[in-house]
C-alpha cells in the first residue's frame, strides 16, 4: 500500500489521541485532557494498537509504561501535530487577529516576570485568540534543548548555553548583588573578600546549570560558600532578606523586588559580562508565518523592555 493510501485510510484525530495517550499514559486522564469519553479513548487506543501492531502502553503494577515503539513515537507526535497545525493555519495572508492557537515558551521566572507583561499585552492587542503558556525552565530542558523545542515554540535563555539553533536576541540586562537591607556588615559597596566570606543563595548550582555571573566569579578565584540552592530567581531576594547572605540577580528583577523583599541592590565588585537574553526555536518553525509573527512580538517586547530599562 502506498504512503498516500495509508494516509487516506487514517483519521487525523488518532494523532491527537496518540500524542495525549503517550504523554498522559492513562486512558482516564487522556479522556479528561481531550474532553471526550473514556470509551472513546479506549476505542482510539485499540485502533492505534491494531495500526502499529504494538500494545503501546503496558501495565506495570498500578501504572502504564511506554513500549519501546511508543517511546520512539512520543518524540515524533508533537512535531507531527505542529506540522499539521501549520498546514491548516496557513492562509494567503496571515492575520494574527483571527489566529486561534496556544504557544508554549520555556523560560525562567525572571524572564517571565520582566518580559512577560510586555509580550502578553501585545498578544492581547493583536491576537485575542492566542493563548501563551510560559513553562518554567529546568536544567534538563536546557541540556536537551533540541528535544525541548520539539514540543515547545521557544526557549528563552541567555547566550552561553546553546549553539546551532536559530535565535533572536531580545534585550540586555546587567547582574547586580543583593544583600539584606539591614545587613550591618555591608556598606555602600561589596568587596571580593566579602563575597568569599558571605553565605550565598545560588541558582541550580550544577555543572551545566548555573547563573553566568556566578561562573564568572569562580573564574576569578572566588568560590561562593553556598548556603541555599533554588530553582528560580524570584525566591532569591526573600532568602537573602534578614540574613547575612548575598546573591547575584538581574538588575531588572532586582529593581522590582528590592523594596517588597527588603534587600539592597549593590554593584558587583568585579567585571561581569552583561546578560543578553535570547529566544531560541527549532528550525522546523523557520517558515511558519504564525511563529514568525510570534517572534516579532517577542522582539518588539524585548526592545520595549530594553528602552524602559535604559530610561529607568
pTM: 0.72
Q: Interior CA angle at 271 toward 274 and 181, to 5°?
A: 85
C-alpha cell, 258: 528590592
Residue 312: pLDDT band with limits 50, 70, 90: very low
pLDDT at 182: 94
Which domains are assigned to the chain? Answer: 3-87 (1.10.10.10), 97-170+277-311 (3.40.190.10), 175-273 (3.40.190.10)
Asked if the model's pLDDT at residue 91 lies above 70, the reply is no
Q: What whole-number distance in Å separates Cα of residue 105 and Cα of residue 112?
A: 10
Residue with grid cell 511563529, as numbered in its chain: 291
Query: Other C-beta atoms within 10 Å of 223: how many?
Result: 11
pLDDT at 253: 96
Phi, psi (degrees; rounded to nearest 5) at 37: -80, 155
Q: Mean pLDDT over all residues of the chain?
A: 87
Pairing type for strands 101-107 and 199-203 reads unpaired
Q: What whole-number distance in Å separates Cα of residue 1 and Cα of residue 90?
A: 30
Mean pLDDT of 151-161: 92
pLDDT at 307: 67
Mean pLDDT of 269-286: 91
Decide: 86 and 290 in contact? Cβ < 8 Å: yes
Residue 224: pLDDT band with limits 50, 70, 90: confident
Residue 83: pLDDT band with limits 50, 70, 90: low
Amino acid at each position: 500500500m502506498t504512503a498516500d493510501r495509508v494516509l487516506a485510510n487514517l483519521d487525523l484525530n488518532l494523532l491527537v489521541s496518540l500524542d495525549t495517550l503517550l504523554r498522559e499514559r492513562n486512558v482516564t486522564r487522556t479522556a479528561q485532557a481531550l474532553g471526550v469519553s473514556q470509551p472513546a479513548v479506549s476505542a482510539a487506543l485499540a485502533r492505534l494498537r491494531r495500526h502499529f501492531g504494538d500494545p503501546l502502553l503496558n501495565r506495570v503494577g498500578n501504572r502504564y509504561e511506554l513500549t519501546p515503539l511508543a517511546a520512539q513515537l512520543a518524540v515524533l507526535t508533537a512535531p507531527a501535530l505542529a506540522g499539521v497545525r501549520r498546514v491548516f493555519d496557513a492562509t494567503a495572508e496571515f492575520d494574527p487577529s483571527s489566529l486561534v492557537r496556544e504557544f508554549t515558551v520555556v523560560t525562567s521566572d525572571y524572564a517571565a516576570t520582566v518580559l512577560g507583561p510586555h509580550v502578553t499585552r501585545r498578544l492581547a492587542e493583536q491576537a485575542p485568540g492566542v493563548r501563551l503558556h510560559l513553562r518554567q525552565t529546568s536544567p534538563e530542558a536546557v541540556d536537551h534543548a533540541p528535544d525541548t523545542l520539539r514540543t515547545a515554540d521557544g526557549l528563552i535563555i541567555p547566550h552561553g548555553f546553546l549553539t546551532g539553533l536559530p535565535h533572536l536576541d531580545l534585550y540586555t540586562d546587567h547582574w547586580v548583588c543583593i544583600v539584606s537591607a539591614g545587613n550591618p556588615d555591608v556598606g555602600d559597596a561589596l568587596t571580593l573578600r566579602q563575597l568569599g566570606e558571605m553565605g550565598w543563595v545560588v541558582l541550580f548550582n550544577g555543572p551545566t546549570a548555573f547563573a553566568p555571573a556566578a561562573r564568572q566569579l569562580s573564574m576569578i578565584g572566588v568560590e561562593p560558600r553556598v548556603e541555599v540552592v533554588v530553582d528560580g530567581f524570584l525566591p532569591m531576594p526573600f532568602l537573602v532578606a534578614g540574613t547575612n547572605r548575598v546573591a547575584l540577580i538581574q538588575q531588572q528583577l532586582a529593581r522590582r523586588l528590592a523594596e517588597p523583599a527588603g534587600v539592597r541592590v549593590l554593584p558587583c565588585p568585579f567585571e561581569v559580562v552583561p546578560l543578553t537574553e535570547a529566544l531560541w526555536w527549532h528550525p522546523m518553525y523557520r517558515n511558519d508565518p504564525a511563529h514568525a509573527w510570534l517572534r516579532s512580538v517577542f522582539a518588539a517586547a524585548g526592545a520595549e523592555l530594553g528602552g524602559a530599562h535604559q530610561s529607568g
